[in-house]
């Protein structure tokens, strides 16, 4: 395995920008939990500009109800792991149900790369966070219009995960790690 420092590699940035779904792994009390999530990748140029907080370079944004296991786990333990495959396309025409998604996944050919990201909660946002909350909510809805179902009512939060490092594996089992 090779290790490099610096930004995320180009193929990871491309994958994060084009995929619609990821697998989010959280853990609390030594009990792991995995969720399939729609998300929005936030690069440095897309972060909310605030003078009081230094923004990390790369963020993963998703919405979740506050009474979910993933949210409760992240409150107790802000560390998480994220898996992004390139077999999930950005075709939104047939994403009406999880059944359609699973059918497409079974029909799809797994291509070259899989990327595992390690990160931690940078920030939880809810309606009381005003402009920043609305900024990220709008970003997420533009990228994932169907995420609206996860942003109804008052009991949801937007979660920003800071990416700390990534590991890329290809179909020839070449592994590269970036910190």
Strand pairing partners for 28? 31
The residue range of the domain holding 84 is 2-178
- By three-state DSSP, how is residue 4 classified? strand
**Which CATH number does the domain housing residue 101 bear?**
2.30.110.10
Q: What is the pLDDT of residue 56?
A: 75
Task: Give the model's pLDDT for residue 51.
Answer: 60
The rounded distance, in Å, linking the Cα atoms of 11 and 98 is: 27
CA end-to-end span of the chain: 13
| 125 touches 132 (CB < 8 A) | yes
- Give the per-residue pLDDT at 88: 42
Query: How many folded domains does the chain comprise?
Result: 1
Residue 74 confidence (pLDDT): 98
What pLDDT is attached to residue 42?
94
Alpha-carbon span 96 to 102, nearest angstrom: 11
For residues 165 and 4, give the distance between their C-alpha atoms in angstroms, rounded to a whole number: 10
Which residues, listed in sequence order, are joined to residue 62 by a DSSP beta bridge?
159
pLDDT tens, N- to C-terminus, the chain (179 residues): 666 555 678 878 888 888 889 999 999 999 999 999 999 999 988 889 876 667 778 999 999 999 999 999 999 999 999 998 755 444 444 455 666 666 555 544 445 678 899 999 999 999 999 999 999 999 999 999 989 998 988 899 999 999 999 888 877 888 888 87
Q: What is the pLDDT of residue 109?
A: 44
State the DSSP code for 8: P
What does the pLDDT read at residue 148? 92
């Amino acid at each position: 395995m090779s290790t490099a420092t610096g930004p995320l590699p180009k193929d990871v940035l491309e994958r994060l920008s084009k995929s619609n779904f990821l697998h989010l792994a959280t853990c609390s009390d030594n009990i792991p939990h995995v969720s399939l999530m729609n998300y929005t990748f936030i690069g440095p140029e897309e972060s909310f500009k605030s003078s009081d907080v230094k923004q990390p370079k790369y963020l993963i944004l998703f919405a979740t109800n506050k009474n979910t296991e993933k949210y409760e786990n992240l409150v107790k333990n802000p560390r998480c792991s994220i898996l992004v495959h390139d077999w999930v396309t950005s075709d939104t025409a047939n994403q009406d149900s999880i059944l359609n998604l699973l059918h497409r996944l079974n029909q799809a050919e797994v291509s070259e790369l899989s990327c595992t990201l390690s990160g931690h909660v940078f920030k939880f946002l809810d309606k009381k966070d005003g402009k920043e909350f609305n900024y990220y909510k709008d970003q997420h809805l533009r990228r994932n219009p169907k995420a609206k179902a996860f942003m109804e009512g008052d009991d949801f939060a937007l979660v920003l995960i800071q990416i700390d490092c990534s590991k890329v594996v290809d179909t020839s089992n070449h592994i590269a790690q970036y910190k």
